[in-house]
Amino acid sequence: MTKVLLDTDPGIDDAQAIAYAIAHPDIELVGLTTVFGNASIDITTANALKLLDYFGASEVPVSKGAAVPVVQAPRPHAYFVHGDDGIGNLDMPPSPRDTSVFPAPEFIMNQASLHRGEITLVAVGPLTNIANALELDPSLPKKVKELIIMGGTVDEPGNVSPLAEANFLGDPHAADRVLSQSWPVTIIGLDVTHQIMLTDTHLASLRDGAGKTGQLLWDSSRFYVDFYTQSGAAKGGAEPACAMHDATALVYVHERDSFGTTHGPARVIEDGVAVGQLAIDRKHYDYSLDHWEGRPPTYAAMTVDAEHVRRAFLDTIIKGHRV
C-alpha cells in the first residue's frame, strides 16, 4: 500500500486525480493539501472538501495552503478553463467539514516525519506549499519516499506561453527551489499529458460505469472539454476531448513502466520572457554558464504508453466507484 499525500488545486483534472487515488486499491490517501492555481485558495480548499465528501472519503484530512506565490505577484486564476467554481460550474453544496488545524506546509512536514520514508508526495498545482515546507524543514527530501510533480514541459510547447506550463508559471520561484533539492523527483509534464486525451467516449464510460463519481466527472468535464476542444491541445481532434493532466501523475505511482524519462540538473526560469520554463541539462556539455552546476538530477517523463495509462485510469475508477 502506497501512502500518498496529494498537494492539489481542485480543479476539474484534480477531481479526476482525487477520484483515481480514492479508487486505487493500493493507494492510501493520507491527506490533501490545497494551493491556489485553478481557482483561489478559498475555492480550491472548499472543492477539496466537497469532492472528498462526494466520493465517499470524508475521513481524508484537508489542509489549507498558500494563497499567493512565494515571490512573484499573483497571476489570474484559470476560471476560463475550470469555471467560476473551479469544477465546471456544478454549484455543489458546501461540505460540513473544516480543514486541518495545521497549515499545509506543517501538515506536509508532520506527515513526512510521522511516516518517514513512506510518503509519496504528489504535487499537481503550483509548488508553493512544497517550497514553504522546505523552509520549515530543510530535511524534508530525506523524509519522503519520492516527489512526483505534474508540471512543466521540456520539448512540448507550453500551455500558458510557448515555453511554460501553468503550474510552473504559477510560482516559478517555488518550482526552482523545489528542484534544487536532493530527493527522488519525477516530473510528469505536458510532454506526456498532451499525449493522453480523454475523449467524450472515454468520459461517457465513466459516467455509465462509475456510479455517482462517474456522473460528476462527466458533468464537470463539460466545461473543461469545451475549452480544450476549442482552444487547447484537443483542438482539431476527431472527438471532443481534454488532456489527462493531474491524474497521470497519480497513475505514474504504480504504472511507471509505461513511461520513459530523461534526467539532468534542472532550473525553472524565474522572470522575463521565458518565465516558468523548465530547463533540464540533458547533455552535460561544458557550458559557459554554471547555473545548473551542483544541482541534483531531476527526472522528466518524455514518452508514455498513452493507451495503457488511460485504460489504467478508467478501469481503476470504474472498479472502485461502481455506486
pLDDT surpassing 90 at residue 218? yes
Q: Dump pLDDT digits (tens) for 37-86.
A: 999 999 999 999 999 999 999 999 999 999 999 999 999 999 999 999 99
Alpha carbons 194 and 196: distance in angstroms, whole number: 5
Nearest to 280 by CA among 270, 167, 295, 134: 295
pLDDT, tens only, 175-215: 999 999 999 999 999 999 999 999 999 999 999 999 999 99
**Whole-number pLDDT of residue 196:** 98
d(CA 300, CA 148): 10
211-230 vs 41-54: helix crossing angle, rounded to 10: 140
Does position 255 have pLDDT exceeding 80, yes or no? Answer: yes
pLDDT-derived band at 322 (thresholds 50, 70, 90) equals low
Give the pLDDT confidence score for residue 237 in this predicted structure.
Answer: 84
Taking the complete model, does pTM exceed 0.85, yes or no?
A: yes
Instruction: Please compute the mean of the pLDDT values over residues 94-115 and round it to a whole number.
Output: 97
SS3 state at 49: helix
Active site residues: 245
Q: What is the pLDDT of residues 260-315, one digit of tens each?
A: 999 999 999 999 999 999 999 998 888 888 898 999 999 999 999 999 999 999 99
Residue 285: what pLDDT?
A: 85
Residue 94: pLDDT over 50: yes
The domain defined by 2-320 folds into Inosine-uridine Nucleoside N-ribohydrolase; Chain A (3.90.245)
Rounded to a whole number of angstroms, the distance between the first and last alpha carbons of the chain is: 23
pLDDT category at 323 given cuts 50, 70, 90 is very low
Q: Give residue 206's pLDDT.
A: 97
Q: How many CA atoms lie within 13 A of 51 on its CB side?
A: 34
Q: What is the largest CA-CA distance in the chain?
A: 59
pLDDT of residue 152 exceeding 50, the answer is: yes
Exposure letters 89-128 (e unless 16+ CB within 10 A, then b): ebebeebeeebbebbbbbbbbbbbeebeebbbbbbbbbbb
Q: How far is CA 120 from the centre of its chain?
A: 13
Q: What is the mean pLDDT of the chain?
A: 96
Q: In the chain, where are the structural domains located? A: 2-320
